[in-house]
A and B are shown apart, each in its own frame.
Chain A
Amino acid sequence: EAGVVQSPRYKIIEKKQPVAFWCNPISGHNTLYWYLQNLGQGPELLIRYENEEAVDDSQLPKDRFSAERLKGVDSTLKIQPAELGDSAVYLCASSLSGRNTEAFFGQGTRLTVV
């Protein structure tokens, strides 16, 4: 079974440019997460979906970040415009619904804003 697939793996952009990340979760997983991870830190939740509904987006900087999961399967995360401080690894994870189900992570997209 394929795991969580993210693309691109690496992205370098100039500041003020837009960027988008894509995530395809494990088949059948209702819950999808986008996390941001800075070097030497733990993942920080940006947004969580239950199917196509964003149930927690309180940590998403909505002035420049947006996300969608239109058909309740794959998801995109967009930044427009990117700032230098957005350089980080963006991790997507998915899980089945339920409290004792672990989240499976994708390899992440390493974003560098120059």
Chain B
Amino acid sequence: GQNIDQPTEMTATEGAIVQINCTYQTSGFNGLFWYQQHAGEAPTFLSYNVLDGLEEKGRFSSFLSRSKGYSYLLLKELQMKDSASYLCAVRDLGNTDKLIFGTGTRLQVFP
């Protein structure tokens, strides 16, 4: 995803909070998605933002600022099973409404 930037790797401790940032550039923003992908498995949907603000879903929250081309995924009360890659994906209306993925952020949670 050449138009989507996210950190390559992050580490955190069990029980802590971690924020994974994503910046993007699109011709026509049409929604932002966060996916979780465990090693060797398929990506699974976590959250969707299309309007500015915070969307909360249990331990996971996602924030969007369209004017800044910025989103973050917030994971609270980290568990060992949260060790995975987190993919930011943007739907770009100016690019045939394509769903474009970032390279993903590999999160390692330590005890």
Contact = CB atoms under 8 A, between A and B. Distances in A.
Contacts of A81: none
Interface stretch (B11-19, B56-64, B68-76, B91-99): B91-99
A108 B39 CA distance: 12
Interface residues of B, number: 25
Contacts of A41: 103-104
B7 interface: no
B33 interface: yes
A33 B89 CA distance: 14
A55, A100, A102 interface centre (most CB from chain B within 10 Å): A102
Contacts of B45: 102-104
A99 B26 CA distance: 15
Contacts of A25: none
B31 A43 contact: no
B50 interface: yes
Interface in B1-58: 1, 4, 30-31, 33, 41-45, 48, 50
A24 B80 CA distance: 33
Interface string A30-74: 000101000011111100100000011010000000000000000
A79 interface: no
A40 B100 CA distance: 16
A55 B96 contact: yes
Contact of B99 (A33, A107, A108): A33
B89 to A, nearest CB: 8
A102 B98 contact: no
Contacts of A99: 30-31, 50, 91, 97
Contacts of B100: 45
A100 B89 CA distance: 12
B12 to A, nearest CB: 19
Given A42-B4, A42-B89, A91-B42, 10 more contacts: A40-B104, A44-B1, A45-B99, A48-B96, A55-B96, A56-B98, A100-B48, A102-B33, A102-B48, A107-B41
